[in-house]
């Protein structure tokens, strides 16, 4: 029989420890009846390659969640290192995030898309699950556009940082790591 040791720290101490790993920084956008909505997220992740599914999580307490929870389509903008100001603007409370100097345009399905991002995705709502004080939203990827090559923006130890490096060689029939299955 295996015995599990009791936890050595309170659950509240989990948050700072969970924030330690680097996380990519993205901006989630959606068209709502009251206008465009958007928020900086670090919870964006790939869920499945086939079909192409991604996810993000927003807190119950997020004012953006209240605006986007019924939306069927979302934009996910992956930010480059030079877009720290965009990440900070979309994380700020009580500001018009889409006012100048934010540069954006209306994309497919009316989804607001930020200009000059490392990449953006148009996603359709696929599944939603309430977990604790957050909502996990899984989306199917409908469109992808990549922007200029460059360093990524990551959240690490409570701050925003550039993450550079050489992009890996793609897997598959055109890269040296390809394998037949």
CATH number at residue 61: 2.30.110.10
Domain membership flag for residue 172: no
The reported pTM is 0.79
pLDDT tens profile 143-173:
999 988 888 887 776 776 788 765 555 555 5
Give the mean pLDDT of the chain: 83
Total domains in the fold of the chain = 1
Domain membership flag for residue 18: no
HEC states along the chain? Answer: CCCCCCCCCCHHHHHHHHCCCCEECEEEEEEECCEEEEEEECCCEEEECCCCEEEEEEECCCHHHHHHCCCCEEEEEECEHHHHHHHHHHHCCCCCCCCCCCCEEECHHHCEEECCCCEEEEEEEEEEEEECCEEEEEEEEEEEEECCCCCEEEEECCEEEEECCCCCCCCCCCCCCCCCC
**For residues 109-120, average pLDDT:** 94
Domain membership flag for residue 88: yes
**What is the model's pLDDT at position 18?**
58
Domain membership flag for residue 17: no
Domain membership flag for residue 102: yes
pLDDT tens profile 18-71:
556 777 788 999 999 999 999 998 889 899 999 999 999 999 999 899 899 999
Asked whether the beta carbons of 50 and 31 are under 8 A apart, the reply is no
**What is the model's pLDDT at position 124?**
97
The angle subtended at Cα 89 by Cα 150 and Cα 119, nearest 5°, is 30
pLDDT tens profile 71-111:
999 999 999 888 999 999 999 999 999 999 999 999 999 99
Domain membership flag for residue 179: no
């Amino acid at each position: 029989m295996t015995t599990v040791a009791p936890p050595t720290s309170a659950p509240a101490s989990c948050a700072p420890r969970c924030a330690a790993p680097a996380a990519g920084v993205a901006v989630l956008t959606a068209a709502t009846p009251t206008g465009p909505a958007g928020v900086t997220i670090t919870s964006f992740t790939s869920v499945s390659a086939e079909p192409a599914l991604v996810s993000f999580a927003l807190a119950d307490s997020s004012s953006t969640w209240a605006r986007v929870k019924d939306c069927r389509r979302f934009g996910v903008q992956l930010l480059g290192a030079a877009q720290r100001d965009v990440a900070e603007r979309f994380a700020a409370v009580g500001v018009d995030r889409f006012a100048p100097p934010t540069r954006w345009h209306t994309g497919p399905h009316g989804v607001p898309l930020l200009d000059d991002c490392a990449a953006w995705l148009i996603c359709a709502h696929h599944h939603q699950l309430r977990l604790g004080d957050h909502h996990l939203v899984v989306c199917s990827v409908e469109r992808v556009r990549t922007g200029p090559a460059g360093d990524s923006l990551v959240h690490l130890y409570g701050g925003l940082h550039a993450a550079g490096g050489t992009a890996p060689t793609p897997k598959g029939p055109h890269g040296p790591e390809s394998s037949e299955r």
